[in-house]
Structure 1
Amino acid sequence: MKIREVLFKNNWITPFLKKYFRGLVFAIFLGTLTMLCAGLLMFSAGYVISKSATKPENILMIYVPVLFIRIFGISRPTLRYIERLTSHNWILKITSELRKKLYLRLEKNAVALSERIKLGDLLGILNEDIGNLQDLYLRTIFPVLIAGALSVALVITAGVFSLTFALGLAFFLAVLVIVVPFVSYKVSVRSDERLKKYRNQLFSDLTDDILGLQDWILSGRKGDFLKSYRQAEENTRGEQKHLFSVARKRGLVLQLIFALLVVFLIFWSSSALKTGDAPNYIAAVVLMIFPLFDAYSPLSDAIVETQRYGDSVERLNELPEGNDELRTEKIVSDNLVIKNLTFGFSDKTVIFDKFNLSVKAGEHLAILGRSGVGKSTLASLVRGDLQPLGGTIKFGDVEVQKANNVEHKIGVISQSPYIFNTSVRSNVTLGNLEATDEEIWSALELVGLKTMIESLPNQLDEWVDEAGLRFSGGERQRLALARILLSDVQTVILDEPTVSLDPITENQLLKLFFERLNDKTILFITHHLLGISRMDRVVFLENGAVKIDGSPSELLDNNPDFKRLYQLDQGL
């Protein structure tokens, strides 16, 4: 990605450059002024040192430059401090908004992202890419603009004294600002690309391996795991060493260019300043250039790293856009109507094609089908977590993609509800932060957990282990049900909530679910028929369409396919 695209053709950098443009200009102005003060300080010091070596005709010839040394000596650190406060305040405001924008986008597209982006890649975006954008401002935009503004000021000032001086200075500054950074970019860009790739891959692979670490160990391949990771680390270090080598050579080149610039200044000042106080100004002009090295030396690194920033911008741009501006309506009716639904994760894998289904408010519907037929995908579409390619999904007259109260109308109990590493109270009130202790205890009693929670040392304030490991699978499902009861949603999706439980616990939980959620609309996604008799209606999905539809009793009496499926499931 080119630097122009990084800065001006994306929705992560450009909007904030425009929004905080005044702060950027002020920070650049302060940075330029700081470098000028540093140069003028050395100019004054050089003049005083040289002048002090000769007998002054008047004490004022020394006093006035000494006064300038004090002025510039105080101004430089003061302006530097103010510039740092201004620039860092500016960048922290932008970084805060960038993180907020990222987290909101992730929150609004959490389910879709889990389908498209691996956890390791997501960690890379959170950890590295936002940090890269922060560095883009501090390490690229500020140094480049300050160096550019300083170069213009120096060339104009030199032009006042001599056109030859201005042209010579412009040549050296062009080499420092344009030629060296461009050559550095060409030499380093491939290594920097590979380094970025290795780092991103490390996030992805290491996360995947850590999540499956138990299987690595149980399979006796711990050595292979460590070897693979060390090889990836070695590749990364190899690219880093190459970049460090290039940086050292570039630093040597920059110092040689500055040495030639000093020689140029000595020759020019020696030939142009020949009368009176000229020798003193020769030293002043030569010394003035040394502090400016700090303004030009970071430019090559800044330009080289634009490739890294470009990759980060590309990855962030690939995140799906939030659609909050479309979510302006409220779901009122609980009647669900799916009409001509078309959806697929790619053009070659169409899951639903002109799919139709309607569910009345309060109806208990079981959705059956083989693995991979799209049962859970349908639930995500109903929730609005995935966007259909065609057709509509409506509650009453409101399309779910345009509703802003989906979370308050539709609840989900999945196969493995997550229990957070916080208190029992915080876990239960996830869907209703305003719930009172009385309401919490009531919900826990309804799901059969009150006695167990009361036995804990701190009861509702007891800290839950990470991922809720202190609770059994059945207890985690009961906590999930308690969340639903406190949130008071009207439609509940049960996405195979008992798939990993033993038959006795499974039967108990399904009975509990259907009793406590009796007054709500239930979409019960399952792959077998336990609990089907409690449903008002059963649909069987096949090839993106409804193959079987009817009440359990009707289907058992009149549909041989369903009857055979029921017998197989019961082991008859």
Structure 2
Amino acid sequence: MKFRKILFGNDWISPFLKKYRSGFVLAIFLGTVTVAMAGLLMFSSGYVISKSATKPENILMIYVPVLFVRIFGIGRPVMHYVERLTSHNWILRITSLLRKKLYLQLEKTAISLAERYRLGDLLGVLNEDIGNLQDLFLRTLFPVLIAGTLSLALVISSGFFSLWLAFGLAIFLGLLLVVLPIISLKFTVKLDKELKTYRNQLFSHLTDDILGLQDWVLSGRKTDFLTAYRGPELSARKIQAKLLAFGRRRNLFLQVLYGALVIYLMIWSSGALNTGDAPNYIAAVSLAAFPLFDAFSPLSDAIVETQRYGDSVNRLNALPDQDEAVRTQEISDTDLSIKNLSFAFEKDQKIFDQFNLEIKTGEHLAILGRSGVGKSTLAGLIRGDLIAQEGSITFGTVEPAKATNVEAKIGVINQSPYLFATTLRSNLTLAKLQATDEEIWAALELVGLKKMVESLPLKLLEPVDEAGERFSGGERQRLALARILLSDVDVVILDEPTVSLDPITENQLLTLFFERLHDKTIIFITHHLLGVHQMDRVLFLEKGKIKFDGKPAVLLESNPVFKQLYQLDLGK
């Protein structure tokens, strides 16, 4: 991917470069001044050393050069510190905005992404790509532009003294700034792509395998697990060894080339500066070149890494685009209307085709269907997490994807409600940040957990283990219900909330859900019929269409398919 395209052919970097260009230019200027001061420090030091060696008759003859040594000696670290503050403040501000943008895109399309990407791939995006964009500025953009600005200044300023000096510097700096980085890029681009492919595979496979580690152990295939991982790991190490070997050879050549530059400056200065006080400048000119090595040495690595940054930009650009300012309306009427809806993750595989559905405020609806028919997808569409390609979904006249108060109106209890590694109180107040202790205890009593929480040593301040492992599945579902009760939403989506529980606990929880949420609109997504007799309507999905829709008692009497499903569910 071309460097220009990485910077300007995307929606993740160029907008911020334009918006915050003043801070960017200031960081480049300060970086250039920092390197220039390092060179001037060595120049002044070289002159003082050379002049002192000639035994000057008066110490005042070297007073001014010594003063310059002090000025540049203090100025260089001060400018370096200011440059670091400026550049890192700038990049941290940009990174914060990038992370916000990424979160908004993932938050809006979480269900879609979960359907289309493996967990390891999503973690790869979150873990690596924003960090790569940060490195793009700190390790590539800043060094390249500082070195380029410095090179231009050196060639122009040296031209005032000698055209031959300017010509020689242009050749050496061209090799350091352009030729060597391009050669490095050409040599490493293929190996770097292969290494990234192996690393991405390892990251995704290892994530998936660790999540399924229990199955590997129980099946007695621990050796297969290790073998499957070690093969790609060994291949990745071999490629990495080749890259490291090339890096060592390139760095050796770079040092030789830089040594040749110093020798060229010594030869030029000894020939051009050979009268009066001029010989003292030979050491000054030669030593001034050494700090420049720090400015040019990272360039080859910086240019090589652009390929990695390009992959990150491509992945981020591939995420579904969501305009964070699109939510401008508020839901007030919770009558749900779905008209002529068509939706597909892939163009040729429609999940819904001209789908229609009406749900009145306060109605309790059960949605049945085989696995993969689109029940959870429909829930995502209703909440605005997914956007239909055709048709409309509205609460009253407002589309959920354009509403600012979706979270305040629609709550979800899914199969595995998540508890964070913080206090029990913090987990519950996710639904209502200003909730009082009295409100929390009231919600816990409604879901039957008040006595259990009161028995804990720290009660509401009791730490919750990661993912809530200290609580049973039924307790986690009750805590999720407590969140919903605290949030006081109008519409509750129950997305197979009891699928992993035993029948007794499942029945108890469903009864509790329907009792506590009786005044809410309930959309109950399930794969079997336990609890559906408490619903106002039962709807069965098949191939993106509604196969039947009606009251449970009526369907049991008049619909043979529903009757058969009911009998199978009861084990008859």
Corresponding residue of 2:418 = 418
Corresponding residue of 1:368 = 368
- 1:3-18 to structure 2, matched below 5 A, reads 3-18=3-18
Deviation (angstroms), 1:359:
0.8
Q: Does residue 224 of structure 2 align to residue 224 of structure 1?
A: yes
Deviation (angstroms), 1:235:
2.7
Q: Structure 1 counterpart of 2:511, which letter?
A: K
Deviation by residue 1:174-203 (Cα, 9 ceiling, x = unmatched) = 111000111011111122222222332222
Deviation (angstroms), 1:236:
2.8
Deviation (angstroms), 1:55:
4.8
CA distance in 2 between counterparts of 1:570 and 1:104 reads 44
Mean CA deviation greater in 529-538 or 298-307? 529-538
Deviation (angstroms), 1:544:
0.9
Gaps of 5+ in 2: none
CA distance in 2 between counterparts of 1:410 and 1:252 reads 63
Deviation (angstroms), 1:263:
2.6
Deviation (angstroms), 1:390:
0.7
Q: Structure 2 counterpart of 1:533, which letter?
A: H
**CA pair 149-345 structure 1, distance change in 2 beyond 3 A:** same
Corresponding residue of 1:47 = 47
- 1:359-438 to structure 2, matched below 5 A, reads 359-438=359-438
Q: Is the 8 A contact 2:330 2:405 kept in 1?
A: yes
Give % identity: 70
Corresponding residue of 1:551 = 551
**SS across alignment from 1:528:** coil
Deviation (angstroms), 1:24:
1.8
Deviation (angstroms), 1:466:
2.2
Mean CA deviation greater in 297-306 or 508-517? 508-517
- 1:55-66 to structure 2, matched below 5 A, reads 55-56=55-56, 59-66=59-66
* TM-score computed with the length of structure 2 as normaliser: 0.96
**SS across alignment from 2:203:** helix
**SS across alignment from 1:278:** coil
Mean CA deviation greater in 28-37 or 53-62? 53-62
CA distance in 2 between counterparts of 1:274 and 1:378 reads 86
Q: Does residue 462 of structure 2 align to residue 456 of structure 1?
A: no
Corresponding residue of 1:564 = 564
Q: Structure 2 counterpart of 1:474, which letter?
A: G
**CA pair 418-69 structure 1, distance change in 2 beyond 3 A:** closer
Corresponding residue of 1:506 = 506
Corresponding residue of 1:76 = 76
CA distance in 1 between counterparts of 2:37 and 2:561 reads 88
CA distance in 1 between counterparts of 2:506 and 2:69 reads 83
CA distance in 1 between counterparts of 2:56 and 2:428 reads 85
Q: Structure 1 counterpart of 2:459, which letter?
A: Q
Mean CA deviation greater in 306-315 or 335-344? 306-315
Corresponding residue of 1:31 = 31
Mean CA deviation greater in 231-240 or 338-347? 231-240
Deviation (angstroms), 1:231:
2.9
* TM-score computed with the length of structure 1 as normaliser: 0.96
**SS across alignment from 2:18:** helix
Deviation by residue 1:305-327 (Cα, 9 ceiling, x = unmatched) = 11111111222222222333221
Q: Aligned-pair RMSD on alpha carbons?
A: 1.8
Corresponding residue of 1:265 = 265
CA distance in 1 between counterparts of 2:326 and 2:522 reads 27
Corresponding residue of 2:471 = 471
Mean CA deviation greater in 99-108 or 297-306? 99-108
- 1:154-303 to structure 2, matched below 5 A, reads 154-303=154-303
**CA pair 72-358 structure 1, distance change in 2 beyond 3 A:** same
**CA pair 63-419 structure 1, distance change in 2 beyond 3 A:** closer
CA distance in 1 between counterparts of 2:395 and 2:415 reads 25
**SS across alignment from 2:291:** helix
**CA pair 352-48 structure 1, distance change in 2 beyond 3 A:** same
CA distance in 2 between counterparts of 1:469 and 1:71 reads 62
Corresponding residue of 2:446 = 446
CA distance in 1 between counterparts of 2:184 and 2:68 reads 38
**CA pair 457-72 structure 1, distance change in 2 beyond 3 A:** closer
Q: Structure 1 counterpart of 2:343, which letter?
A: F
CA distance in 2 between counterparts of 1:308 and 1:390 reads 37
**SS across alignment from 2:353:** strand
Deviation by residue 1:267-296 (Cα, 9 ceiling, x = unmatched) = 322332332233222222222212211111
Deviation (angstroms), 1:451:
1.9
Deviation by residue 1:26-55 (Cα, 9 ceiling, x = unmatched) = 222122112222222222222232233335
Q: Structure 2 counterpart of 1:106, which letter?
A: L
**SS across alignment from 2:89:** helix
Aligned residues: 572
Deviation by residue 1:501-530 (Cα, 9 ceiling, x = unmatched) = 222222222222111111111111122222
CA distance in 1 between counterparts of 2:524 and 2:83 reads 61
**CA pair 55-528 structure 1, distance change in 2 beyond 3 A:** closer
Deviation (angstroms), 1:398:
0.9
CA distance in 2 between counterparts of 1:227 and 1:187 reads 31
**SS across alignment from 1:356:** strand
